A and B are shown apart, each in its own frame.
Chain A
Amino acid sequence: MSAHEDTHAHDAHDDHGHHHKETFVTKYIFSQDHKMIAKQYLITGTIMGVIGVLMSMMFRMQIAWPEEPNVLFEALLGKWAPEGVMDADIYLALVTIHGTIMVFFVLTAGLSGTFSNLLIPLQIGARDMASGFLNMVSYWLFFLSSVIMIISLFVEAGPAAAGWTIYPPLSALPMAQGGSGMGMTLWLVAMAIFIASSLLGSLNYVVTVINLRTKGMSMTRLPLTIWAFFVTAIIGIISFPVLLSAALLLIMDRSFGTSFFLSDIFIQGEVLHYQGGSPVLFEHLFWFLGHPEVYIVILPAMGLVSEIMASNSRKPIFGYRAMIASILAIAFLSTIVWGHHMFISGMNPFLGSVFTFTTLLIAIPSAVKAFNWITTLWKGNLQMNPAMLFSIGFVSTFITGGLTGIILGDSALDINVHDTYFVVAHFHLVMGISALYGMFAGIYHWYPKMFGRMLNKNLGYIHFWITAVCAYGVFFPMHFIGMAGLPRRYYTNSNFPLFDDLANVNVIITIFALIGGVVQIIYLYNFFSSIFYGKKATQNPWESTTLEWTTPVEHIHGNWPGEIPHVYRWAYDYSKPGHDVDFVPQNIPLKEGEEELQH
């Protein structure tokens, strides 16, 4: 219904677009065009990603060769690595900032920000986002927050170092840790701005999907990418404000003497005035975002992978409705499982039982999705483009990482592997590597749409295969050192002879991590050089059905030069019997007598 009314709105917007005079500043910097904003998100996210990965390579070297002088540390860490030996404080800071950057700046803003902005208007048939201005503000807030996060690395007492979960009192008391001074203040400010940016973005995505779908684009004809972005945005709107409140209350505790999270503290010879607060409250607030956050990261990747798998398998995605239902189920469940991060936080064990129950339930929609992806491949005609490889890789790591979730989600088992490397291995595979694969898949697939040129396919293959081997090489053995009881976030394990036999595993992991990190240069080269020298793209290089491939290769304001195409079918008419070609774009009317699949 709404789609009908919108066509007028589109025309009005279109006229407006034509009068718009573009300068360098309005085109490349303060752009309100969703395609340019998507590229801005992607490039900012890439830069943050490089920083995050470099950090991980540094702390991996420290873990493998503890307290050994390293010229790299001396060069990059300066006063934090006297004589080239990494300081314990900066180790924790690197771990903290690595987590923050990768989760929020790369896999939330870089992934969701890029592809929601690029694909929502293009795939639903809209001229632009509902509010181009808010979209621009959203990006620039993200940029500002990135800058503040980077600045926080250079403060005198060190960057935030309380872990990316910043549990108080450690994060609240500068006397507990150097990084909890100015570094933590900047971290909180950066995150508060980030949340504002994310909320503006999410509101825009939701409004756009609800209101601006082209004629014929009913909700059950939407590509799964849009479903994923749409639901992700809703989760973000529900849960991010809670983190904002937690951050604000923590700022109050830190700077204005309130006691929301602090009570009865004796530190460095003095009793602090705080009374009546509870760190457990902070944990609840944090994980109320923190857990949905992993779905905010993974759902868009799932959407991208579903789309790419269908297109490259030349087959409809299997179980379209089940896929939507599982997205919705995951979204719903994601908001009631946060307590599984807190089984041993001191909360009532009965609550632990409830969260075990809800947590293990989430395995059901996840399993449905995995089986549907596998079935999508069955009897397909698989085009092994780099995007497809990354999608298959996504399913592989998602299964491997997801399965160990039934151990961690089980409160009784969590007692013993909580906060060990087992957890690190689990979440890196299931939402770190998987989401990165989803992001890479998306970049390889939609690069022609973003830049009008093709990425080099062979470099893509090399990039994928080395990355895939390294990802397993890093995170698979890591489960085992976790099961041996090795706690995470230890600067060195040399004070525990108990773990001496795990030292060689850590060396192997680090070697894989270093190789895996360095080969990303291949990708960076491919990405940046192809912007200028890549082969010119055709309009629909992958022969896909969705609307973005009906727009011209050269970007124009308003996306389509003429009228917005109408939609007559769902997004997955690949290899449909009765057609000569193996794909039927959504804007092609049904043939005489052709039935639309009632999927």
Chain B
Amino acid sequence: MTALLTIIILVFISVAIWQMVKIFDLAQAKSDNSQVATDKDNTLNAYLMMGFLAFIYIITIVCFVKWGDLPLMSNSASEHGPTIDNLMIISMIIIFITQTITQFLLHYFAFKYKGEKGKKALFFADNNKLEAIWTIIPVIVLAGLIIYGLNTWINIMGVDESDDPLVVELYAQQFNWKARYAGADNTLGKANVRLIDIDRANILGLDEADPNAQDDIITTELHLPVGKPVLFKMRSQDVLHSAYMPHFRAQMNCVPGMITQFGFTPTKTTAEMRQTPEIVEKVANINNIRIEKSKKLIAEGGEALDRYEFDYLLLCNKICGKSHYNMQMKIIVETQEEYDAWLKEQKEFKNSLVN
């Protein structure tokens, strides 16, 4: 019943707007009969063009000031992070300059050359020099960006096996993550989803006969030692997922049927990251928002929200079904000692099986 009423109200609102537009339409039918722009229209819209230019500039400034602390442009927590951030900042500056100039020219010309009766436009059809200029300038700028970008990309994606990275498997399933550590041999045991045996608690499908698999460790939290290169091997058991670790400037899809990889070196422990001024400010801000929200929730008889404390996160960033929006895993970067201590407490694969 409410549904029907709402639809009826919606229809009425639409009809009301329609009728208002109609009144507007009819009211001016007599005053101005021309449906082609007159000088008056040209002038008015020319001024509005300048107003719109101001609007574009203002919204740009407001966005940068209000939301421009841009977590993805500073404060990275991985070794390659700053190279991406630098490239990002350079690209942003180029974009900002180009945007400011071209939008100005566009709107200013629209203002300056507004039509007037009797005026004749300049017959200016072609100029090879100009065309050459604005072909060559983008070529040079883009060449620079391409070279810089490709260098950065190759450095990030090229995995150097010689510096003996810690190998960790990230395993995705609807709708959670698991991590698998290679154990003392630093070699992941063979695995395939066909070997999954829920009854024996072999949830990732490890090959029980493979000696390398025996000391593997499966966890629901991702712990990483600071300063040590990590090589992630990604697997998915059902649909596409994407392992997105924004603070480390890292992302790679998890594809059923194949193993993908991404490597980086964390440079800041979780504790250190919590101390950085940007994060302190961000967390304080978020907690203020949460306190405000909690007040409202309590007034409505609900429960207050927990206090937020910063943690690195692994998010799923490829649409994967109903609970895609809540597929996450906490990442903890810690000192080697803390990491070793934590790892020791975890169960090795051979001991986790149910017989």
Q: Which A residues contact B (CB, under 8 angstroms)?
A: 71-72, 74-76, 78, 88-89, 92, 162-163, 167-170, 173, 176-178, 262-267, 269, 271, 275-280, 313-322, 344-346, 349, 352-353, 356-357, 360-361, 363-364, 367-368, 370-375, 377-385, 388-389, 392, 395-396, 399-400, 403-404, 406-407, 410-413, 415-420, 454-459, 461, 465, 468-469, 472-473, 476-477, 479-481, 483-485, 487, 489-493, 495-498, 500-503, 505, 518, 521-522, 525-526, 529, 534-535, 541-542, 572, 574-577, 582, 597, 599
| B234 / chain A contacts, CB cutoff of 8 Å | 346
Residue B260, interface by CB 8 Å? yes
If A412-B84, A476-B63, A477-B67 touch, does A170 touch B321 (CB 8 Å cutoff)?
yes
Give the most central of B17, B134, B237: most A CB within 10 Å. Answer: B134
Size of the chain B interface, CB-CB below 8 angstroms: 137
Q: How far is the CA of A529 from the CA of B59 in the complex (A)?
A: 35
Closest residue to B17 on the A side, CB-wise? Answer: A521
Task: Give residues of chain B (166-188) contacting chain A, Cβ–Cβ below 8 Å.
Answer: 173-174
Q: Which B residues contact A (CB, under 8 angstroms)?
A: 2-7, 10, 14, 17-18, 21-22, 24-25, 28, 32-37, 41-42, 44-46, 48-49, 52, 55-56, 59-60, 63, 67-68, 70-73, 83-84, 87-88, 91-92, 94-95, 98-99, 102-103, 105-107, 109-110, 113-116, 119-127, 130-131, 134-135, 138-139, 142, 145-146, 149-150, 152-154, 156-158, 173-174, 192-194, 196, 198, 205, 234, 237-240, 242, 244, 246, 249-253, 255-258, 260, 282, 285-286, 289-290, 293, 305-306, 308, 310, 313, 315-326, 328
If A169-B240, A271-B194 touch, does A92 touch B319 (CB 8 Å cutoff)?
yes
Kindly provide the distance from the CB of B136 to the nearest chain A CB, expressed in whole angstroms: 9
If A75-B6, A314-B121, A383-B37 touch, does A346 touch B260 (CB 8 Å cutoff)?
yes
Q: How far is the CA of A383 from the CA of B143 in the complex (A)?
A: 39
* CB-based contact A413/B91 at 8 Å: yes
* CB-based contact B257/A403 at 8 Å: no
Closest residue to B308 on the A side, CB-wise? Answer: A497
Closest residue to A387 on the B side, CB-wise? Answer: B37
* CB-based contact B18/A480 at 8 Å: no
| B70 / chain A contacts, CB cutoff of 8 Å | 480, 483-484
| B251 / chain A contacts, CB cutoff of 8 Å | 344, 415-416, 418
If A357-B146, A383-B36, A385-B37 touch, does A399 touch B106 (CB 8 Å cutoff)?
yes
* CB-based contact A468/B123 at 8 Å: no
| A321 / chain B contacts, CB cutoff of 8 Å | 126
Show 26 residue pairs from A and B whose CB-CB distance is below 8 angstroms, ordered by the A residue. A75-B5, A88-B323, A167-B240, A264-B257, A276-B257, A349-B157, A356-B150, A356-B153, A377-B109, A382-B114, A384-B41, A384-B114, A392-B107, A403-B95, A406-B95, A411-B150, A411-B153, A412-B156, A418-B242, A457-B37, A484-B70, A484-B72, A497-B286, A503-B289, A526-B21, A541-B36
Closest residue to A538 on the B side, CB-wise? Answer: B36
Nearest 10 pairs between A and B by C-beta?
Answer: A263-B257, A75-B6, A454-B35, A349-B157, A346-B260, A485-B246, A384-B45, A266-B193, A379-B122, A490-B325
Task: Pick the residue among B52, B94, B99, B321 that contacts A468 (CB under 8 A).
Answer: B52
Task: Pick the residue among B48, B115, B135, B323 that contacts A382 (CB under 8 A).
Answer: B115
| B306 / chain A contacts, CB cutoff of 8 Å | 497
If A377-B113, A473-B59, A599-B126 touch, does A582 touch B193 (CB 8 Å cutoff)?
no
Q: How far is the CA of A396 from the CA of B108 in the complex (A)?
A: 12
* CB-based contact A74/B135 at 8 Å: no
Q: How far is the CA of A262 from the CA of B255 in the complex (A)?
A: 10
Q: How far is the CA of A375 from the CA of B122 in the complex (A)?
A: 11
Task: Pick the residue among A72, A465, A599 that contacts B6 (CB under 8 A).
Answer: A72
Kindly provide the distance from the CB of A295 to the nearest chain B CB, expressed in whole angstroms: 18
* CB-based contact B113/A378 at 8 Å: yes
| A406 / chain B contacts, CB cutoff of 8 Å | 91, 94-95, 142, 145
Interface of B is mostly: helix
* CB-based contact B109/A378 at 8 Å: yes
Q: How far is the CA of A392 from the CA of B48 in the complex (A)?
A: 12
* CB-based contact B49/A392 at 8 Å: yes
Closest residue to A271 on the B side, CB-wise? Answer: B194
| B91 / chain A contacts, CB cutoff of 8 Å | 406-407, 410, 413
Q: How far is the CA of A487 from the CA of B324 in the complex (A)?
A: 10
Kindly provide the distance from the CB of B52 to the nearest chain A CB, expressed in whole angstroms: 6
* CB-based contact B126/A404 at 8 Å: no
| B21 / chain A contacts, CB cutoff of 8 Å | 459, 521-522, 525-526
| B134 / chain A contacts, CB cutoff of 8 Å | 367-368, 371
Task: Pick the residue among A88, A379, A485 that contacts B71 (CB under 8 A).
Answer: A485
Closest residue to A282 on the B side, CB-wise? Answer: B240
Closest residue to A502 on the B side, CB-wise? Answer: B67
Kindly provide the distance from the CB of A514 to the nearest chain B CB, expressed in whole angstroms: 12
* CB-based contact A505/B42 at 8 Å: no
Give the most central of A363, A497, A599: most B CB within 10 Å. Answer: A497
| A353 / chain B contacts, CB cutoff of 8 Å | 150, 153-154
If A163-B319, A264-B193, A412-B153 touch, does A456 touch B35 (CB 8 Å cutoff)?
yes
| A373 / chain B contacts, CB cutoff of 8 Å | 106
Task: Pick the residue among A76, A271, A458 that contacts B193 (CB under 8 A).
Answer: A271
* CB-based contact B109/A374 at 8 Å: yes
| A477 / chain B contacts, CB cutoff of 8 Å | 59, 63, 67
* CB-based contact A384/B313 at 8 Å: no
| B318 / chain A contacts, CB cutoff of 8 Å | 167, 419
Known: A313-B113, A364-B142, A378-B122. 6 other contacts (CB 8 A): A173-B238, A396-B103, A399-B106, A412-B87, A419-B244, A497-B308
* CB-based contact B139/A412 at 8 Å: no
* CB-based contact B25/A529 at 8 Å: yes
If A315-B121, A411-B149, A487-B244 touch, does A501 touch B328 (CB 8 Å cutoff)?
no
Q: How far is the CA of A526 from the CA of B246 in the complex (A)?
A: 47
Task: Pick the residue among A263, A277, A375, A407 that contacts B95 (CB under 8 A).
Answer: A407
| B317 / chain A contacts, CB cutoff of 8 Å | 418-420, 487
If A74-B6, A403-B95 touch, does A495 touch B238 (CB 8 Å cutoff)?
no
If A356-B146, A383-B115, A495-B328 touch, does A278 touch B255 (CB 8 Å cutoff)?
yes
| A72 / chain B contacts, CB cutoff of 8 Å | 6, 10
* CB-based contact A267/B238 at 8 Å: yes
| A529 / chain B contacts, CB cutoff of 8 Å | 22, 25
| B174 / chain A contacts, CB cutoff of 8 Å | 176, 267
| B193 / chain A contacts, CB cutoff of 8 Å | 264-266, 271
Kindly provide the distance from the CB of A262 to the nearest chain B CB, expressed in whole angstroms: 7
Kindly provide the distance from the CB of B28 to the nearest chain A CB, expressed in whole angstroms: 6
Give the most central of A266, A407, A599: most B CB within 10 Å. Answer: A266
Q: How far is the CA of A322 from the CA of B156 in the complex (A)?
A: 38
Task: Pick the residue among A370, A454, A469 that contacts B55 (CB under 8 A).
Answer: A469
Kindly provide the distance from the CB of A362 to the nearest chain B CB, expressed in whole angstroms: 10
Closest residue to B152 on the A side, CB-wise? Answer: A412
| A78 / chain B contacts, CB cutoff of 8 Å | 3
Q: How far is the CA of A465 from the CA of B113 in the complex (A)?
A: 19
Task: Pick the residue among A176, A392, A410, A535 that contacts B33 (CB under 8 A).
Answer: A535
* CB-based contact B95/A384 at 8 Å: no
Task: Pick the residue among A314, A407, A459, A495 that contacts B120 (CB under 8 A).
Answer: A314
* CB-based contact A500/B286 at 8 Å: yes
Closest residue to A384 on the B side, CB-wise? Answer: B45
* CB-based contact B194/A480 at 8 Å: no
* CB-based contact B72/A416 at 8 Å: yes
* CB-based contact A577/B123 at 8 Å: yes
Kindly provide the distance from the CB of B155 to the nearest chain A CB, expressed in whole angstroms: 9
* CB-based contact A75/B7 at 8 Å: yes
